[in-house]
Amino acid sequence: MEHTIPIEISILFILVFILTYILKKVGIPAIITFLAAGFLGKIWIDSSHIDNLYIFKELGIILLFFFIGLEFSFDRLKGMLNTFMPAMVDLIFNLGIPFVLLVLIGFDYLSAFIIASVIYPSSTSIVAKLLVDYRRLVNPEAELLLGILIFEDIIAIVILTFLSYLTSGSEPSLLSVGLSLLKMSLILIGFFLLYKFVLSKLTNLMDKVSDDENFIFLVLGIVLLFGSFFKMQGISEALGAFLIGVAIPQTKIAHNIEQHLSSLKELSIGIFFFFFTYDIDFQLPENKFLLLLLIVLSILLKGISTYIGAYIYGLKSKARLRASLSFLSRGEFSVIISALNPLYSGITVPLILVTAVIGTLLFAVAGDIANFIYRSKRKTS
């Protein structure tokens, strides 16, 4: 049977490039184009024609975090332990406060917890992608934001475990949640031991092998293997890919990986964000005032908690403001949690999309805003 690429997808790729090229000239991030393409594709492309692209959706998030991991080392990760208190502030502000407010205005405990859990985590994929695109991984707030993102991912996994029991009618037990955390801890310890006693001893060999033109197959296979293994264990595949990136030594191999895989990464990430909106069933709720209130609340609480967390972390004023304006997008974990109770998708889905767009745009101008405000303060002082 002959298979052909649908013409709609061919045209979509061309349009994505043209729109991305034009919008980047006026300072609008590429992610906005990819999200808009998802809405366009929802109207224009038959769902049966899109199946062949799903492999790139899986690749996108894995390769993104693998490349971020390349920028780090285990020694640098130890510094992220300092993000625990900021991460707790983030948890209290963005899960605890919305939960209490939702209960007070009449939601039952389960519904309030689901909606609050949607509000809680920032989008790991959006924030991480923008940190790379805007070359802000070297900024002082980058380690703080990535540390909180990792903490949020771990908490989101626990929340998903807890809610999957509740929404299925089963009672979650402390034992089941405890076993999930124990399994995650053992896997992380095992990975560190693998790095310490195996991978770190193979630096010269890996540098030599990385010169081969077919090296891409080995790297991609290893990254996908670890990502899939983590996912099979109920842990984010992004975390597995991130740790593999961390384990790669900062030698010639890192440069060769960048050279071989960067184009595939960009393509996969673009398609990942296309599916972000393509797969969402968008509808507005009857109570639009409540939706507006929750959107404003989610943006304010995330901005304030990040600013406080950055203060605790020891960042200076300008970096605190930059961080607080760069952490507002909700994304993939929020979508997954929202799907557990479709009854409130009219609230949760628009909230995710609006914060994703607003958060992306504010990230793009966060540095300019911080520079303008603190330049003005110096002039008036």
Residue 160 within any structural domain of the chain: yes
Tell me which range, 162-166, 193-197, 353-357, is most confidently predicted by mean pLDDT. Answer: 353-357
pLDDT category at 161 given cuts 50, 70, 90 is: low
Q: Is 236 inside a domain boundary?
A: yes
In DSSP notation, 19-40 reads HHHHHHHTT--HHHHHHHHHHH
Look at residue 1 and tell me whether its pLDDT is greater than 50. Answer: no
Q: Do 65 and 239 touch, CB atoms closer than 8 A? A: yes
What is the pLDDT at residue 119?
A: 94
User: What mean pLDDT comes out for the span 52-58?
Assistant: 75
pLDDT in the model for residue 276: 75
In which element (H, E) is residue 29 found? none
The tally of domains found in the chain comes to 1
* 269 pLDDT higher than 60: yes
Q: Does residue 19 fall inside a structural domain?
A: no
- Selected residue with higher pLDDT from 54 and 356: 356
Residue 374: inside a domain: yes
- Report, as an integer, the average pLDDT of 371-381: 69
Measured distance between the N- and C-terminal CA atoms of the chain, rounded to whole angstroms? 74
CA angle 174-179-181, nearest 5°?
Answer: 95
Model confidence pLDDT, tens digit, residues 102-144: 999 989 888 899 999 999 999 887 898 889 888 898 899 998 9
Averaged over 57-81, what is the pLDDT? 73
Residue 180 falls within a domain, yes or no? yes
Answer whether residue 289 is part of any domain. Answer: yes
355/67: higher pLDDT: 355
Whether residue 7 is contained in a domain is answered as no
298 domain-assigned: yes
User: What is the rounded CA–CA span in Å between residue 349 and residue 353?
Assistant: 6
User: Over 60: is that where the pLDDT of 340 sits?
Assistant: yes
Q: What is the pLDDT of residues 247-257, one digit of tens each?
A: 777 677 877 88
- Rounded mean pLDDT, 90-96: 96
The CATH number for 192's domain is 1.20.1530.20
Is the pTM value of this prediction over 0.85? no
- Please give the structure tokens belonging to residue 192: 């560190």
